Chains A and B, each alone.
Chain A
Amino acid sequence: MSESVETLVNREYKWGFVTDIEADTLPPGLNEDVIRAISAKKQEPAFLLEWRLKAYRGWLKMTEPHWPNVQYPSIDYQKIVYYSAPRTQKPLGSLDEVDPKIRETYDKLGIPLTEQKILSGVAVDAVFDSVSVGTTYKKHLAEMGIIFCSFSEAVREHPELVQKYLGTVVPGSDNFFAALNSAVFSDGSFVYVPKGVRCPMDLSTYFRINAQNTGQFERTLIIADEGASVSYLEGCTAPRRDENQLHAAVVELVALEGATIKYSTVQNWYAGDEDGKGGIYNFVTKRGKCAGPRAKISWTQVETGSAITWKYPSVILQGDDSVGEFYSVAVVNGRQQADTGTKMVHLGRNTRSTIVSKGISAGAGQNSYRGLVKVMPRADGARNYTQCDSMLIGNRCGAHTFPYIDVQNRTAAVEHEASTSKIGEDQIFYLKQRGLNTENAISMIVNGFCKEVFRELPMEFAVEAQKLLGISLEGSVG
């Protein structure tokens, strides 16, 4: 195979790369040595390196999927830098040691790393180009037995938990991008909530993409033990970039008996300019497993950014009486493309799932909802309700729905409803007649359209999401 030839050719990189003090970065390209280097840099245990290599070998045999309804130039995986750490690498004693430059960027984005964090009551695990630089509120959470830390730290401090749960929901061989992530993931967040503990605050992490040409391969693992509950927020912003950046993250959620996990995302990465140049490729695998009876997993997402979004936060409803939810708002404008939706796999008895998806297309954007509701033969009394609505603004955009419904149990009740509409001129007229200008009228109508999803978001996110929606649709009407 040509791959193994490449591996031989690339041997020289082994351990011998130049460590640039400014941005401790591996040279572009991917081979087993790069993976060994990442693993060694992070001082990982042997099982993890083996796991990475296994995923990598599987990945070599896979082909990039092209079934999503999106178009993009082909990606050269040998041109991507797979590891890049910020300058400060020593373990930090306090937040003051964080590079002021980095702190400044965070402040601009409004991340409450300083005093604000106390006021807002949000514990932040900020991920800045692959390595966590600051983790707050840890002590308070630790008292309750909650582990909230970077993935690397979890690997060092709690290898037994990582080994037990890593890859149990999204195996290393799951799909092309998940396999790539499994091989090269640099860092991410780890949450473990012990039995019967309710996490007292929303946990939050901000992913950002910074160094040029650095693919981000985050890995998040959240485990809610029996009867535990946790709400996790993920928000993203990225500075303007000209070159496409690949982001292939994996998020795994495990909810054991009676546990609840709520995962909320606001995604506003750089979407590219008007011609679609630049922008992030957001190819993400997110999946949760209701492993025990009465578990509940709820995904809420507001997707306004990225040139291409390709993600299907899913729930495997394995435990009896478990519940899966998916609430989504996806906005495309300019030349953005989104192919997003969810999978609800009903395995256990009396499992219930709800899907509410709102797609807004403007400019020359293409928005696809792709969903699967699968009821397996043993899922007696399974219930699903799906509603997926699209709104089109202008006639250069497109809305597509690809819902798959696969039912193998006669006691199941599955309902799917979809509609497509535009902003009614009568609605705008009514609001203008009440003194609103066109822009505000549209903003109000769009927010009304998305209300069912926004009300699932934690409060500060809901505010942010509404603002984002306004910004994303600016100039698309009139």
Chain B
Amino acid sequence: MIDRYVRQYEALAANGGGRAPDWLKSLRRAAIDGFRETGFPSGRDEEWRFTSVAPIVRTDFGPAAGGGAVVAADLQPFLFGHDEWPRMVFVDGRYRADLSSPAAAAGLQVSTLAEALAADPKGLETEFGRHVVPDATPFTALNTALAPDGVVIRAARGTVFAQPIHLLFVASREAEGAAFHPRVLVLVEREARIQLVESYVSLGDRARYLTNTVCEIAMGEGSWVEHSRIQRESEGGYHIGFTQVSQARDSHYRSFSLAMGGAIVRHNLHTRLNAPNTEALLYGLYLGRGDQLIDNHTTIFHDQPNCRSWEVYKGILDDRSHGVFNGKIFVKPEAQKTDAKQTNRALLLSDAAKIDTKPQLEIFADDVKCTHGATVGNLDLLSGFYLRSRGIPDAVARRVLTYAFAAEVLDEISAVPVRSALDRLVRDRLGVGS
């Protein structure tokens, strides 16, 4: 199973990879060597204890076929009604220039990884693969070794770009049996501000494929990033993602993560507060149904004093779905005056749904305020009674309360078009009219 990926790497190294600069080649080699050593994670691995990736390991995923049949009209449902947003579209792992409209603004560069490397082979050496630990997980290593292309966004010092930049990763109707390894690198220089929307969508109904993505975001001093990650893969597909944020002084990172697709889903979101007075706000919503397994792992590294982090993740699990949440907060001895709050709440809607949640605090500094809370439960009976006493039927009351539970996090998306689009999406899923 491991050999299969090693062979893919060798094929890539032999042709397309040949154009990569030497530093990237050695990064890829180190990554595949690391992967060859560790192999896929098993249930004995604490980080993967509740999430079995056995079906992914068993499947013989081939490289992406191409998905040429996708046309602009296919993408309309995923554009939030804003065709004019700068957009980078990848279909089955391949960049599609004909469907994309990269931003053309002073101070903002949005390009494919291949273009960025061709323009300046040395330019990315100090950034690419330097924020995420290349072998943070075996899947990260695999992405580093196999990512044929990706996106590079660079916002120059002081650039403020008002429109969201949309990265759209599409699995076509021919995606069945393929594996994609898209890679994203976002460099936000000092005092620049951007909004990023990262979507994973599928045109097929229950196609089985693997998306294995890595996103690195490097934030300069006083920079500001709002990042919405919307995962709507096919319910037969597998999605493994790793997002690593690295924050300089006075920077502000705000993330919203919606996970509603995929048969087996794992997203790691790690942010490192590298300098004093940085702030990270992480919001998440996951909706499981059928036999979905949705796993969110977040880690916040409080490395420096006077930083704040605020995290709220909510899950709604129906049918036989299984939710996993692991939220870690590490506070280093020097990170005094840290203020960290983490909340995870899950709602189980059916008898067979289950949740494993593990909020984890590791604190080495004394003058800190750190709290976490986790609740698992059913809908509030009193609220249900109140609604029924007002003449609202029980079934409707339940849906309304479920939606209200989700809306608390949806409200935190500050980009209005994204918020209203996702609000509609969640309403549809939960059966609540507008």
A395 to chain B: closest CB distance in Å?
5
**How many residues in A have their beta carbons less than 8 Å from beta carbons of B?**
35
A420: contacting residue among B333, B354, B368, B377, CB under 8 A: B368
Contact between A414 and B361 (Cβ–Cβ < 8 Å)?
A: no
Known A-B contacts A407-B354, A413-B378; the reply to A419 vs B371 at CB < 8 A is yes
**Interface class of chain A by DSSP:** strand
Contact between A407 and B360 (Cβ–Cβ < 8 Å)?
A: no
Which of chain B's residues have a CB closer than 8 A to the CB of A393? 366
Cβ-closest chain B residue relative to A380: B351
Which of chain A's residues have a CB closer than 8 A to the CB of B363? 390, 392, 398-400, 420
Which of chain B's residues have a CB closer than 8 A to the CB of A403? 358-360, 374
Q: Which B324-352 residues have C-beta < 8 A from chain A?
A: 333-334, 336, 346, 348-352
Contact between A404 and B358 (Cβ–Cβ < 8 Å)?
A: yes
Alpha-carbon distance A402/B365, docked complex (angstroms): 17
Q: Is B375 an interface residue (CB 8 A)?
A: yes
Known A-B contacts A420-B370, A422-B367; the reply to A413 vs B376 at CB < 8 A is yes
Q: How many A-B residue pairs have CB under 8 A?
A: 116
Contact between B373 and A416 (Cβ–Cβ < 8 Å)?
A: yes
Contact between B362 and A406 (Cβ–Cβ < 8 Å)?
A: no
A322 to chain B: closest CB distance in Å?
20
Cβ-closest chain B residue relative to A383: B377
Contact between A405 and B365 (Cβ–Cβ < 8 Å)?
A: no
Contact between A407 and B355 (Cβ–Cβ < 8 Å)?
A: yes
Alpha-carbon distance A403/B336, docked complex (angstroms): 24
Known A-B contacts A393-B366, A410-B351, A410-B353; the reply to A418 vs B375 at CB < 8 A is no
**How many residues in B have their beta carbons less than 8 Å from beta carbons of A?**
36
Interface centre among A397, A410, A421, A422 (most CB of B within 10 A): A410
A401: contacting residue among B348, B354, B359, CB under 8 A: B359
Contact between B377 and A414 (Cβ–Cβ < 8 Å)?
A: yes
B366: contacting residue among A395, A406, A413, A419, CB under 8 A: A395
Contact between A399 and B351 (Cβ–Cβ < 8 Å)?
A: no
Cβ-closest chain A residue relative to B334: A395
B203 to chain A: closest CB distance in Å?
34
Known A-B contacts A398-B364, A399-B363, A400-B363; the reply to A410 vs B374 at CB < 8 A is no
Known A-B contacts A392-B363, A395-B364, A407-B348; the reply to A413 vs B377 at CB < 8 A is yes
Which of chain B's residues have a CB closer than 8 A to the CB of A407? 346, 348, 354-357, 376
Q: Is B46 an interface residue (CB 8 A)?
A: yes
Which of chain B's residues have a CB closer than 8 A to the CB of A399? 361-363
A422: contacting residue among B349, B353, B364, B366, CB under 8 A: B366
Q: Is B4 an interface residue (CB 8 A)?
A: no
Contact between B359 and A416 (Cβ–Cβ < 8 Å)?
A: yes
Cβ-closest chain B residue relative to A398: B364
Contact between B354 and A396 (Cβ–Cβ < 8 Å)?
A: no
Cβ-closest chain A residue relative to B348: A410
Which of chain B's residues have a CB closer than 8 A to the CB of A418? 359, 361, 371-373
Q: Is A278 an interface residue (CB 8 A)?
A: no
B62 to chain A: closest CB distance in Å?
36
A416: contacting residue among B334, B362, B374, CB under 8 A: B374
Q: Is B122 an interface residue (CB 8 A)?
A: no
**Interface class of chain B by DSSP:** strand
Cβ-closest chain A residue relative to B366: A392
Q: Which A416-439 residues have C-beta < 8 A from chain B?
A: 416-422
Interface centre among B351, B352, B366, B378 (most CB of A within 10 A): B366
Q: Is A167 an interface residue (CB 8 A)?
A: no
Which of chain A's residues have a CB closer than 8 A to the CB of B367? 395, 422
Contact between B371 and A405 (Cβ–Cβ < 8 Å)?
A: no
Alpha-carbon distance A60/B356, docked complex (angstroms): 32
B351: contacting residue among A377, A417, A420, CB under 8 A: A377
Known A-B contacts A401-B359, A413-B377; the reply to A395 vs B372 at CB < 8 A is no
A6 to chain B: closest CB distance in Å?
28
Alpha-carbon distance A415/B378, docked complex (angstroms): 12
Cβ-closest chain B residue relative to A384: B376
Contact between A400 and B361 (Cβ–Cβ < 8 Å)?
A: yes
Contact between A414 and B376 (Cβ–Cβ < 8 Å)?
A: yes
B97 to chain A: closest CB distance in Å?
47
Q: Is B424 an interface residue (CB 8 A)?
A: no
Contact between A405 and B362 (Cβ–Cβ < 8 Å)?
A: no
Which of chain A's residues have a CB closer than 8 A to the CB of B334? 395
Q: Is A354 an interface residue (CB 8 A)?
A: no
Contact between B364 and A406 (Cβ–Cβ < 8 Å)?
A: no
Interface centre among A375, A408, A411 (most CB of B within 10 A): A408
Alpha-carbon distance A400/B348, docked complex (angstroms): 28
Contact between A401 and B361 (Cβ–Cβ < 8 Å)?
A: yes
Q: Is A412 an interface residue (CB 8 A)?
A: yes
Q: Is B130 an interface residue (CB 8 A)?
A: no
B292 to chain A: closest CB distance in Å?
16
Q: Is B369 an interface residue (CB 8 A)?
A: yes
Known A-B contacts A67-B46, A418-B371, A421-B369; the reply to A405 vs B364 at CB < 8 A is no
Known A-B contacts A410-B353, A421-B369, A422-B367; the reply to A402 vs B378 at CB < 8 A is no
Q: Is A409 an interface residue (CB 8 A)?
A: yes
Contact between A412 and B366 (Cβ–Cβ < 8 Å)?
A: no
A312 to chain B: closest CB distance in Å?
15
Which of chain A's residues have a CB closer than 8 A to the CB of B366? 392-395, 397, 422
Alpha-carbon distance A399/B333, docked complex (angstroms): 11
Which of chain B's residues have a CB closer than 8 A to the CB of A405? 355-358, 374, 376
Which of chain A's residues have a CB closer than 8 A to the CB of B346? 407
A290 to chain B: closest CB distance in Å?
21
Alpha-carbon distance A398/B346, docked complex (angstroms): 29
Which of chain A's residues have a CB closer than 8 A to the CB of B352? 377
Q: Mark B111-150, 1 if CB is under 8 A from A, else 0.
A: 0000000000000000000000000000000000000000
By a beta-carbon cutoff of 8 Å, the part of chain B in contact with chain A is 46, 333-334, 336, 346, 348-378
By a beta-carbon cutoff of 8 Å, the part of chain A in contact with chain B is 67, 375, 377, 390, 392-422
Q: Which 5 A-B pairs have the closest CB atoms?
A: A410-B348, A392-B366, A408-B354, A416-B374, A413-B377
